Amino acid sequence: MKTIILLSSVCLFAFSAVAQIGVAAERPNIVIFLADDLGYCDLSGFGSPAVQTPNLDRLSDEGLRFSNFYAGSAVCSPTRASVLTGRYPLRFGITKHFNDRDGWLPESATTIAELLKGAGYNTAHVGKWHLGGLHVDDDGVRRTDQPGPRQHGFDTYQTQIEQQPLRGRMGRERTLFRQGGTVLMRDDQKISPDAPYYSKHLTDANGDFALELIDKLSADGQPFFLNLWWLVPHKPYEPAPEPHWSATQADGITDDQHRFRSMIAHMDSKVGEILTKLDELGIADNTLVLFTSDNGAAFEGNIGELKGGKTDLHDGGIRVPMFVRWPAAISPGKSDAFGHSNDLLPTICDAAGIKLPADLPIDGLSLLPHMKGGPPPSDEIRGDVFWQLDLYKGLQRHYPKPKPYATEVVKRGKWKLLAKSGQAVELFDIESDPNELNNVMKEHPELVASMSAQLRKWLREDRVTQ
């Protein structure tokens, strides 16, 4: 009898192991591409006449394209916190971009990398970080006075050293890309001058290391999360290597416009190499690949007819491209449903089969049911959506910043209220007026009062800064 029980136990164990393997095999690999200062119309698939982006267009065409997606801020660090945590940046006291000196995402924040790692994913970050913790000592070793990528759940990472006055100098000299390899940090240590990546252009260094990681991680037997945050097309505008420089030459454009276009073409090419790698390894079908931008366009970028731009809370500063491809689960198509960078964490955890802890506060909603063909979250379920950004009086465009200035936004369905220090300054119906030209505050005083009250309540809520 004991023998029979033992054999039954062995069979049960074997069946359980097979079942677990089956479940693991269904979990997708996850790749997030985050561009930097890419405007709503900077990709040819989103209407850009300036530069062709065939690889990103392919990704968009093979996936679900969102035309009404918003970044968590009009500058980078706050949105990056939103992407990683699914929470409003203000929850962590992040109210502007970090200065590479004394700002960081609190170590207590729960990130998407930590949640995926806890569920058995291998996690890697490549590229720009801008959430603190990337200072080094004289020996090139990462200082530990601020949390960095590993403290936020990434098993491995490659970034640039994000430290002043280094980055400021390379920005002014316009060498941050062309000499980007000379200031790379990998897993808490600056790379040495004899390392093969030391001489690489930054965009190549990011793309090539991502390719290495995909090769390595795909052979591990566990799903992987690759968080690839390009610096492109953020300033300094630098000429991309050939063939991208020659391919983007055009009559009647400035040198900066040419540099800008070549940078986007270079990024697009590296995305193409990564998509090809997924195909070659036979893992593209069960890899969720998502692309978006951290905020709207800066100087040379294209926001179409939208108002504002980087550093401004009108839609030109916060409405961004977004598309997601997961052939095993998501059919190609287009969606005009509202989405927000806070939604990425719950969406990806949903795709990975991760049930979020009941005590984990999240401001976003999973878009996965909608991505799979269901309806998007209703306005009633979503509720009011908020933005906060300290006042930048300068607009990073070739024209003045729109007035009146605003430091907050509350969005309720089709209504968008802009405020300064909690006091309403503009109200737009962005369904009928997507370019925010007709301020209708006077016509809707009760709506303004209600939205303003909710905004002020949100501004008073507790923040976590440690």
Active site amino acids: 76, 130
CA–CA distance, 81 with 240 (Å, rounded to integer): 29
Exposure class string for 403-426: b at 16+ Cβ within 10 A, else e: eeebbbbbbbbebbbbbeebebbb
CA distances from 400 to 294, 304, 310, 317, 318 (A): 22, 17, 12, 13, 17
* Beta-carbon count within 10 A of 132 CB: 25
Give the pairing of strands 156-160 and 184-186: antiparallel
CB of 312 within 8 A of CB of 395? Answer: yes
CA–CA distance, 337 with 329 (Å, rounded to integer): 18
- Among the listed residues 320, 327, 324, 270, the one whose alpha carbon sits nearest the alpha carbon of residue 296: 320
- Among the listed residues 280, 279, 306, 284, the one whose alpha carbon sits nearest the alpha carbon of residue 295: 306
- Among the listed residues 124, 159, 82, 115, the one whose alpha carbon sits nearest the alpha carbon of residue 320: 82
Torsion of CA 112, 116, 118, 122, to 10 degrees: -120
CA–CA distance, 430 with 432 (Å, rounded to integer): 6
Sign of CA dihedral 185, 154, 57, 294: negative
